[in-house]
Amino acid sequence: MTVLRTLGHAPLSARLGLGLIAIYLGAALLAPLLAPYGETEVVGDVWEASSRSALLGTDQLGRDLLSRLLYGARNTVGVALVATLLAFVVGVVGGSAAALVGGWVDSLFNWLVEVLLALPSLILALLLLSVLSPSVTTVVLVSALLSATRVFRLARALALDMTAVEFVELARLRGEGWWWVVRSEIVPNTYGPLLAELGLRFCFVFLFIGSLSFLGLGLQPPTADWGSMVRDNAGAMPFGLAAPFFPAAAIALLTVAVNLVVDWLAQTDAAHDRWS
């Protein structure tokens, strides 16, 4: 009931963002049922215009663009979500542990994070993926590693602020371990900024994986992926065809939707802090 009451007071922009996210998730989960053709099925000639058999036309190999977009939602959004959640778990646990344990643990974690942050993310990812095979697993792990550094810094700052709070001090005086303190005291009392960071990290990872796929080191063909679909169909632009526009619009629209929800969460958390 509390969640429904909160959503009831959400602004129109946040509701629009949540609705778009729900549509994307539905498309990702129900792609095999919604797609008129298979993910790699050739249904016509190269870059055919919109027709009854192919509502959005065909791609550079004659595959149905609508089907590729739906399967791309499952692949691109799914991989980005897994990488974001993994980065979030590693970053929150690592940052909170560094703040609570302190000493050489904090110094070591901070040194590793600073080294990774000093290197350009895209160049480091390209280097790692060129050495490793650019499979789904390596794309997830590399994206999660680079995003976990940002989450680490936020989680560490929040945990350092919480260490001065009375109930955290009492828990530590009782002899509770750092994991119990993180799970029971820090995360429940800092979920606002953490949720906002989760949305921002998802946008970063989502666009990052799309960039990798556009450069040929993300999800590999014949897997449907929006980034690679933009690259593969870019040759249709001189002919005035909209084939590369559809995956690009899908990427942009989801990014805008997530940012609308993140802005609402940030404003809600700020108002809560103001009145608490």
pLDDT tens digits for range 34-63: 999 988 888 888 888 888 888 888 888 899
Question: pLDDT digits over 71-116, tens only?
Answer: 999 888 889 999 999 999 999 989 888 888 888 888 898 898 988 8
Please state which CATH number belongs to domain 10-43+60-275.
Answer: 1.10.3720.10
Q: State both tokens at 243.
A: 């084939």
Q: Is the pLDDT of residue 270 over 80?
A: no
In the predicted structure, residue 266 carries a pLDDT above the cut 80: no
Residue 19's pLDDT is what?
92
Q: Where are the domains of the chain?
A: 10-43+60-275
Overall average pLDDT of the 21-33 stretch:
91
Q: What's the pLDDT score for residue 180?
A: 81
Residue 202, C-beta contacts closer than 8 angstroms, at least 6 positions apart: 80, 81, 84, 258
Q: How far apart are CA 92 and CA 186, in angstroms?
A: 10
Radius of gyration of the chain from its Cα atoms, rounded to whole angstroms: 22
Query: What's the rounded mean pLDDT across residues 30-37?
Result: 91
What predicted TM-score, i.e. pTM, was given to this entire model? 0.85
Environment class of 230 (CB within 10 Å of its CB; exposed 0-12, middle 13-18, buried 19+): buried
Whether the Cβ atoms of residue 192 and residue 44 lie closer than 8 Å to each other: no
pLDDT for residue 276: 45
Higher pLDDT, 268 or 17: 17
Buried b (16+ CB within 10 A) or exposed e, 152-185: bbbbbebbbebbeeeebeebbeeeeebeebbeeb
